[in-house]
Amino acid sequence: MGFGTIEGMGDEENRALRSWYWYDWANQAFALTVLTVLVPQLLSSMFELSTGGGTEVGSLKITGDTFYAIILGSASLFVAIVSPVLGAIADRMPIKKKILWVYTVIGVLFTAMMGVAPHLEAGSAYRFLAFCLVIGNIGFAGGNVIYYAFMPNLADSGSMDHVSSWGYAYGFAGGSLILIVHLLVGLTGFFGVSDPWSPWVLSFIFVTSAMWWLGFGMQLFRNTPEPEIPNPKEYDSALEAVRDGISEVRKTFGEIRKFKILAIYLASYLLFFDGINTIGGMASAFGDSVLRLNPTMNFVLLLMVNITAVPMTVIGGKLANRFGTKRVLGWSLGVYSVVAILAVGFAPLELEDDHERYDFQYDFNDETGEYELTTLYDRGVKGWVSKSGDGDLDFRDSFFEYMFETVPDTSESERWSDDDVVIDSISMSQATSLRSEVAMMSEHRFSFSFEGGDLDGSRYVGEEHPTIIEGELADWWPNLLRDNVWEPLNFGVSLQWIMLGMMVGIVMGTAGAQARSLFTMLTPSSRSTEFFGFFGFIGKAAAVFGPIVYAISAATMGSRMAVASVVVVILIGWSLFIFIDVEEGIRVARQEDIEAGLIVE
């Protein structure tokens, strides 16, 4: 009958269920490629390129990952505000599919529009991309609130672990497949360019992600019926519906004591989902800004995470059936806590004689007698150094005469333009002068290495380079691990990232699926959309709260301390599990459905 179907259900019911799964398959093109892999590192990179490694606002240091955290939190604010009201209205009118359709169209449209950003100037590019991300995420996150509310109507309560796990598995599989396509296009030079992540490749990724979302998502709108409403209500105007929705939200807050177990779980969920959301949302930006990971490697690693998550999500559902949903969810949160602790300790190995890991690599050509320039990840000088950002001002003043054929006057706001030609090789005398300049000026975020010729072995690392870990509160931990674990094992930052990725992949789907499943068990089916509106509200509140806390912590105490705060939040949320009596919560939810006439004893 198909993957994820339920024995004993009719063909129509199973087709409706499979179509619901396919929407998860569809929108994971946004959740994985756009929101998790590409935009965090792209927006972080664009911001740092525009500002020269970051900017200062008063005493706060805003780096690429900090800026992305602010945007990510802002992107969830609208959904957090409107979800409870829309949920209450949708519980009284058969409009769930209409609301989901509107959210889907908004998300698809602004995902496609992100393809314009790579073609804009650096300063405009990151602003436009941030704007599209905010609106696109409203479509994605708002749609998920309504999409989740279909679940209690697709199968009986005893099948919720099965349904939730298979929904997540479909999502990870669909997201992984489109990410493989994007990775192949980037690596094979599909558009005839040497840069695997050229503007046209990036545009292709954004547009195809939007098409994937819309195309596969159509099955839900065609085959999954509008959930039945026990006592549908008609309104004379939209304003009346909103007022009734707000009134119902107030009523639900007033009745929260009636659903004590559910209320405790929502408080727990707010905390632990804050941690999970922050790890998933900030990983790519953290890797780019703090660890300076290879963008292609970041693609590959996050793909591995999601491929691992496909079977592990199904296995997690089976474990939940055997050991209990709450217990398996708790195990997953424990793994996430370990992941966060290790992430704080991730650190690039010291550069030393590893010539190919330096940002600017000068190799001596015996035939020409000159030093030829290669840049890290082949990003080029223009891909590393800000055109006008204050953070790279001293660097531009000191070194650009060795990097461009013509350098504009220093009084100009921009030290180079897109038409300026980069110097690919310099003479021995120029290289000697450059080495002298580099030796004297170290207040920058880059590294230089000379290989061959008279300058062979000359290496210089700027004070703000990612391998220089000092000055922040949590720096003792990555230095301790680097000196005693990473360096002795020759465990570079890419291998560290793989380790984190595989650990997250094992529990990522299980944590999300069992968190959703547990909420479904504790929720009356007669008020599913309303309560899932609250579920969405709590989730989006966490999605707002987590990144903002990360941004404040990163700006005041450093990015690694921001990740450390995630551990505390997860542990606090996990500790509330001792107050969650699942059987009692299910009993209360069932009694509510009996009183609403949805269940006849």
pLDDT at 411: 46
Is 372:506 a contact under the CB 8 Å cutoff? no
Annotation: CATH topology of 11-223+240-348+493-595? Growth Hormone; Chain: A; (1.20.1250)
Q: Cα 238 to chain center, whole Å?
A: 35
Name 98's Cβ contacts closer than 8 Å, sequence gap at least 6: none
Q: Given this model, what pLDDT does residue 410 score? A: 47
Report pLDDT for 252: 66
**CATH 1.20.1250.20 domain position(s) in the chain:** 11-223+240-348+493-595
Give the helix ranges, DSSP H, for 91-115: 96-113
Return the residue matching tokens 């007669």: 526
- Which single residue is written with the structure tokens 């496609």? 112
CB 439 within 8 A of CB 460: yes
The strand pair at 447-451 and 360-365 is best described as: parallel
The beta strand positions in 268-400, using DSSP E, are: 360-365, 370-375
pLDDT reported for residue 36: 81
Regions of the chain where pLDDT drops below 70: 1-2, 58-59, 83-84, 86-88, 91, 122, 157, 161, 187-197, 230-231, 235-238, 245, 248-249, 252-257, 406-420, 528-530, 532-543, 597-601
List 370's β-bridge partners, or say none.
365
Q: Are 426 and 371 in contact (CB under 8 A)?
A: yes
- Taking the C-alpha atoms of residue 421 and residue 301, their distance in angstroms, rounded to an integer, is 34
Cross-strand partners of 425:
372
Q: What is the pLDDT of residue 373?
A: 94
Nearest Cα residue to 275 out of 587, 568, 586, 576: 568
Nearest to 320 by CA among 582, 564, 52, 36: 582
Using CA atoms, how far apart are residues 64 and 3, in angstroms rounded to an integer?
41
Q: State the average pLDDT for the chain.
A: 83
Per-residue confidence (pLDDT) for residue 111, from 0 to 100: 95
Tokens of 430: 């120029």
pLDDT at 420: 67
Q: What is the DSSP string of 340-388?
A: HHHHHT--PPP-TT-GGGSSEEEEEETTTTEEEEEEGGG-HHHHHS-SS
pLDDT digits (tens, 9 = 90+) for 99-119: 899 999 999 999 999 999 988
pLDDT for the residue numbered 470: 87
Total number of residues shown for the chain: 601
**Helix, strand, or coil (residue 336):** helix
> Residue 60's Cα: distance from chain center in Å?
23
Describe the strand order of the beta sheet including 459-461 as a list of residue ranges. 425-426, 370-375, 360-365, 447-451, 459-461
CB 536 within 8 A of CB 249: no
Residue entry with tokens 């672990």 = 161
Tens-place pLDDT, residues 577-594: 999 998 888 888 888 778
End-to-end CA separation in angstroms for the chain: 32
Q: Residue 539 has what pLDDT? A: 66
> Is the four-CA dihedral 299, 304, 309, 311 of positive or negative sign?
positive
**pLDDT value at position 404?**
81
Whole-structure pTM value: 0.75
